[in-house]
Structure 1
Amino acid sequence: MTGPAADTVDAVVVGAGINGMAAAARLAKAGWSVALVEAHERIGGFIDSAERTTPGYVHDTWSSWHPLFVTGPAYAEFGPDLHRHGLEYANSDGLLTATVSRDGTVTLAHRDVEATVAGFAEPADRDAYRAALARFGAHAAQIGGLLGAELRSRDVLAPLWGLARTGGRAGLETYARDVATSGRAWLRAHFRGPEVDRLWAPWLLHAGLAPDSASGGLMVPIFAATLHAAGLPVVVGGAGNFVGAWERLLDELGVRVNTGRRVERITLRDGAAAGVAGEGWSLAAERAVLASVTPPALYGELLPPAAAPAPVRDEAARFRPGRAAMQVHVALSGPVPWRDPALAAVPLIHVSDGSASTAIACAEAEAGLLPRSPTVVVGQQHVLDPSRVPPGAAALWLQLQEVPFAPVGDAAGELDTSRGWDAALATGYAERVLDRVAAHAPGLRELVVGLDVITPRELAEYNPNALAGDPYGGSAELDQNFLWRPLAASPGHATPVPRLWHIGASTHPGPGLGGASGHLVAGRLLAPARGERLRRVLSRR
């Protein structure tokens, strides 16, 4: 796949994560000549897998779960081709996700809604849960249309009209209020018992939010409905096989993939984007440049200062990262000895008390402290795909989404943070995390045969889009999301520079392994201009 950079193409796509791959594929499928440029030696961004601990154990290095991808537009268009090129999913049919609280209480969610609500103590909560999912299901097409459209364009009129037609003004106002509501508040307003909060409040971390962040009231039912419908698919054999399928598809479509090339600047001609360049090489783009980067990188590094208006440059410089994250991979010689045996069959578990403990951990991380009791995302991919571990063994994919990039202290007062994320701090915090899991799996520590820790600084060093160790491309707080993503001064994907388009997690619809922004921008480039559409309509008469 790696080859010399061709001199001139129709479009250059900078960054080969999921959005870059989706954009390149869609443009190439329509007949454009496309060059996809990636600084690393392999495409994929935060998608990869490797034997990171012990031979025979395959770990998804960063991202792992694909419900957003299989329900998104990129998969709708390219899913059959990717499967033809070797992509295979393993998915959950029964138990879906669970939360284990400090006191050992386990709350379970199944793919089946009725099996899930059977675990709720309050009959009213069962009805409220069914109603919330039914409401989202009735409007899923319209909400998906909004999340997959330019929010300041005419494209939002159809989904807005669909919401108004089915829900009326009151329905529209309810959704607007959900956007302004935190997840914790929404859960308190709709449910009496703790089960739904315990299950779904920790999932807000996967959207870059905290339980008390605005827009959680919209995201909680979206997460619940999506997972009940799509499950938690993982790639058989590891996420690297997902990248392999994309490599073969892009090759088939004629995309010129250039790896190992770092883009240092976007070249301009008459004020418009004309290509990209790096050390000793350059590429010309006749029609478009698509950049999957953060706003600080786009406006502060790749473009000359005079290319964009001062308000845009100034706001880009103030673009905020969210909380940092870290990853811990664990190889085990035997099955996880969960105290509650039901957890052995659950693909993804949160160790959390719901909003109560997750909100505290988020606040501690925002204050620069290592959380005393972090929310631990426990992935058991081997439950779905046994090929990832030796027979009889197990592995844990532990994700921490509440850590500071530059710690100033430890909320527990135990770890020395004065040297930042050095090996001692990384190991010490990983031990805290393992202890938190082992409290619900006695004997776990004796089974550990391999451990691999990826710190926030290592995340940022590998992928510059993980600004300050934030894998979600920047804070998803309401003032930096939806209508105001990536920037209030430059919302949407079209930039102030003609023929330059902004894609990636820093742009709408935000983080998540879906490829939506890349697919959306490619669609806009392929759509006929307004005048051309009118000419076509008139020519049919």
Structure 2
Amino acid sequence: MTQSYDAIIIGAGHNGLVTAIRLADKGWKVLVLEKSSLPGGASKSYEITEPGFMHDIYAMNIGLFLGSSFYEKYRGELNRYDVEPVISNKPYASVFPDDTGIGAYQNRKEMYKSIAYHSSRDTYAWKELNDYFDKTSPYFMPLMQMELPSVQAGRHAWKVFRQLKMNGVLELGSHILQSPREFVDHWFENDKVKAMIVPWGFHLDFAPDVSNGAVFPFIESILNQRNGMAFSRGGVQRLINAMVGMVRAREGEVRTEAPVSKVLEKNGKAYGVVLENGEEIHADKAVIGNVTPSQMINRFLDKETLPAKYVQKAEKYQYGPGTMMIHLSLDAPLQWKAGEEYAEFAYIHIGPYVDDFARTYTQAMSGTLPDSPMLVVGQPDTIDPERSPAGKSTAWIQVRALPSHVKKDALGNIEPSSWNVIKEQYADRVMDKLSEYAPNAKEVIRNRVVLSPQDLEKDNPNLVGGDSVSGSHHMFQNYMFRPMPGYSRYETPIDQLYMVGAATWPGGGLNGTSGWLLADKLTSK
């Protein structure tokens, strides 16, 4: 007999789990199907280098999640599942070739002191920027937790216009539409202060000269400084496992190693899925894909049954540059030339400067291996001793940005080939760069595991070409245009078939918003 549920969710990423929990709370019978043996999607952790060393494999920062509607409502329940955020009061820093650095401190006086070391004028600029954030964020931040477009968002936009008036709205729009370089040039004078802020754009695909790329550095540089850098104690998998437990506690099901091969639809209406093993499962109310548009049409649907324009838009959905992840188990923490205190920062960005970020992006997008990629060096042990044995350490290195398919090497030292062939060579280049700033890096390595852009996509099909945020966030494909015009409200042309996840508004990051909004939408009908 064919099993039947109210809703089937394809993919146990955090947005899929948020959807399942919210629907189950409303009395829906839910089933989550995950192709991998481990739930979490791009938010998972395990001992990838060696036993005793716990690594967040992809996403590590849970700051957006802590600010989500989901966390606000379910914080107590998550705590009962042993979920505990750990917060670094030294959230991020940048280091430079002259053996100096600049760090963001949660303590306001320390923050001013850090900036003043490089530019006394920029301490005032930082205060002015923070004041401007306080003035404007109550107007633009709520939009990040609303459907776009929607009546609710329209009412909020009208409220913004009434409160800020025409000139205020135009000024805010001008700042948000700036590129990261234009944004920091407007506010700051010192190149190192600028280099502390711009890298936050690179956590998505906002290179220094991408219009509208200022929005993420604006938000993240301030909120991470104020709130501190947040990780999940013991690894982000503990958070994911708690959410799986919450689904099951509500009599929902989560099945791993259960890859879906096809979404069943008839007369323009989705009614279930078929697994790769041939099992057919029905859904009475909704099939929800925590997937990207190109995957939806290429893996799960028959294109012939879809509107031609939808297929065309989905096939043209654009992905950003690739990412490499390097995980290190270490005999001792990294020692930074910039000073002993830099071993205490949660994230270290190494560009070093804005021009370097820009060159890296241009090279990556042209298919060229960058001569000196941007590195995000995560040091989770600074606030979470559970990550490694006493006296040992781990390092989490995100390499941004890289070509998905390599055509040439900027230095001419690596013969273009598939990532499977060249990833260790390129990781050596990364380690050479890291060693320029942390000289003991190579000496203290116990084990190294390299995940290339190709590895990222193999592990998680949403990370096409190694794009760690499941699709470009440039303005043509963001806001009410995400994932594509006409389909920004989590719907598809197929009745009862929906999408959530990083490919939908509000995009990448561990925020849980799309799952929350879709679940509330479905249960309010």
Q: TM-score, normalised by structure 1?
A: 0.93
Taking the aligned partners of 2:158 and 2:381, their CA distance within structure 1 comes to 44
Q: Aligned pair 1:128/2:125, yes or no?
A: yes
C-alpha contact (below 8 Å) 1:17/1:43 kept by paired residues: yes
Q: 1:7-46 residue pairs with structure 2 within 5 A? A: 7-46=3-42
Taking the aligned partners of 1:229 and 1:284, their CA distance within structure 2 comes to 47
Structure 2 SS opposite 1:328: strand
Which residue of 2 is the match for residue 531 of structure 1? none
Q: 1:188-267 residue pairs with structure 2 within 5 A? A: 188-267=185-264
Which residue of 2 is the match for residue 111 of structure 1? 106
Compute the displacement of 1:407 (Å).
Answer: 0.7
Q: Deviations over 1:463-521 (max 9, x none)?
A: 11011111111111111111211012533312222222111111111111111111111
C-alpha contact (below 8 Å) 1:102/1:352 kept by paired residues: no
Q: Aligned pair 1:499/2:496, yes or no?
A: yes
Amino acid at match of 1:17: G
Which residue of 2 is the match for residue 534 of structure 1? none
Taking the aligned partners of 2:342 and 2:141, their CA distance within structure 1 comes to 32
Which residue of 1 is the match for residue 336 of structure 2? 338
Which residue of 1 is the match for residue 444 of structure 2? 447
Compute the displacement of 1:6 (Å).
Answer: 7.2
Amino acid at match of 2:140: I
Which residue of 2 is the match for residue 288 of structure 1? 286
Q: 1:178-193 residue pairs with structure 2 within 5 A? A: 178-193=175-190
Q: Aligned pair 1:409/2:427, yes or no?
A: no
Taking the aligned partners of 1:261 and 1:285, their CA distance within structure 2 comes to 16
Aligned CA distance change for structure 1 residues 442 and 283 (closer, same or farther; 3 Å): same
Compute the displacement of 1:269 (Å).
Answer: 3.2
C-alpha contact (below 8 Å) 1:503/1:518 kept by paired residues: yes
Across the aligned residues of Structure 1 and Structure 2, the Cα RMSD in angstroms comes to: 1.7
C-alpha contact (below 8 Å) 2:500/2:514 kept by paired residues: yes
C-alpha contact (below 8 Å) 1:47/1:240 kept by paired residues: yes
Taking the aligned partners of 1:451 and 1:378, their CA distance within structure 2 comes to 14
Taking the aligned partners of 2:516 and 2:75, their CA distance within structure 1 comes to 13
Amino acid at match of 1:104: D
> Percent of aligned positions with the same letter in both sequences?
29
Q: Deviations over 1:95-152 (max 9, x none)?
A: 2210012332201111133421222244442222222222223343432321121211
C-alpha contact (below 8 Å) 1:312/1:490 kept by paired residues: no
Which residue of 2 is the match for residue 73 of structure 1? 69
Taking the aligned partners of 1:6 and 1:119, their CA distance within structure 2 comes to 63
Q: Aligned pair 1:61/2:61, yes or no?
A: no
Taking the aligned partners of 1:455 and 1:29, their CA distance within structure 2 comes to 39
Q: Deviations over 1:301-341 (max 9, x none)?
A: 32222443211111111111100101001111122122211
Taking the aligned partners of 1:312 and 1:245, their CA distance within structure 2 comes to 36
Taking the aligned partners of 2:427 and 2:303, their CA distance within structure 1 comes to 42
C-alpha contact (below 8 Å) 1:133/1:221 kept by paired residues: no
Which residue of 1 is the match for residue 379 of structure 2? 380
Structure 2 SS opposite 1:207: coil
* Alignment length (residue pairs): 521
Compute the displacement of 1:412 (Å).
Answer: 1.5
Which residue of 2 is the match for residue 278 of structure 1? 275
Q: Which structure 2 residue ranges, 5 or more long, are not aligned?
A: none
Compute the displacement of 1:195 (Å).
Answer: 3.6
Taking the aligned partners of 1:208 and 1:252, their CA distance within structure 2 comes to 38
C-alpha contact (below 8 Å) 1:300/1:316 kept by paired residues: no
Aligned CA distance change for structure 1 residues 6 and 13 (closer, same or farther; 3 Å): farther
Which residue of 2 is the match for residue 316 of structure 1? 314
C-alpha contact (below 8 Å) 1:133/1:224 kept by paired residues: no
Q: Aligned pair 1:98/2:93, yes or no?
A: yes
C-alpha contact (below 8 Å) 1:312/1:489 kept by paired residues: no
Which residue of 2 is the match for residue 458 of structure 1? 455
Q: Deviations over 1:60-117 (max 9, x none)?
A: 1111111111111221222221111111121112x22100123322011111334212
